[in-house]
Amino acid sequence: MPSIAESLSSQSQLANDLAAGVNTLSNNQSVVFTQYARQVISEDGTVFWVNTGVTTTVQGSLHYATDQQQNEDETIDINRVIFTALSQIDEFNTVSPDTMWLGSFNGIRFSFNVRGSFYEQANLYHYLGNAVYPALASQLVDSAADLPDGPIVSNSLPIWLAQGTVSLPVYPSYLVPANVVPPYIVAHVDPDMTEAPSFPIYVWPGTVEANSGASPLHDMPSSQLAKDRVRLTLYGLTNQQAIQFYASLIDYSLNTDNFGFGNSPVIKDAKRTQSELNVIAMKKTLDIDAWYFQTTSDAIARRLILSAGFSSITTS
Could you read off the pLDDT of 246-258 as tens digits, one per residue? 999 999 999 998 9
Q: Is the pLDDT of residue 9 over 50?
A: no
Q: What is the mean pLDDT of the chain?
A: 81
User: If pLDDT is split at 50, 70 and 90, which confidence band does 307 have?
Assistant: very low
CA dihedral angle for residue 55, residue 102, residue 154, residue 203, rounded to 10 degrees: 50
> How do residues 94-144 score in pLDDT, each as one tens digit?
657 788 889 888 888 988 876 655 445 445 677 888 899 999 999 999 999
Amino acid 218: pLDDT? 61
Q: Is the pLDDT of residue 277 over 70?
A: yes
Amino acid 217: pLDDT? 64
- Distance, CA of 52 to CA of 140 (rounded, Å): 11
Among candidates 182, 276, 196, 190, which has minimal Cα distance to 237? 182
Give the ranges where 63-178 is alpha helix by DSSP (H).
90-94, 157-161
CA dihedral angle for residue 89, residue 53, residue 106, residue 94, rounded to 10 degrees: 20
> How do residues 72-101 score in pLDDT, each as one tens digit?
999 988 889 888 876 677 666 665 778 888
Of 291 and 16, which is predicted with more confidence? 291
Quickly count: other Cβ atoms within 10 Å of residue 189's Cβ: 20
Distances (CA, A) of 248 to 41, 74, 167, 256: 25, 42, 15, 12
SS3 260: strand
- The mean pLDDT value for 232-250 works out to 97
> How do residues 172-191 score in pLDDT, each as one tens digit?
999 998 889 999 999 999 99
User: If pLDDT is split at 50, 70 and 90, which confidence band does 37 have?
Assistant: very high
Q: Which long-range contacts (CB under 8 A, 24 or more apart) does 67-75 make?
A: 73/135, 74/134, 74/135
Of 40 and 119, which is predicted with more confidence? 40
- Distance, CA of 279 to CA of 266 (rounded, Å): 24
Max CA pair span of the chain: 86
Of 98 and 296, which is predicted with more confidence? 98
Quote the pTM value. 0.78
Q: Is the pLDDT of residue 312 over 60?
A: no
- The mean pLDDT value for 156-171 works out to 93
How large a percentage of the chain has pLDDT more than 70?
A: 74
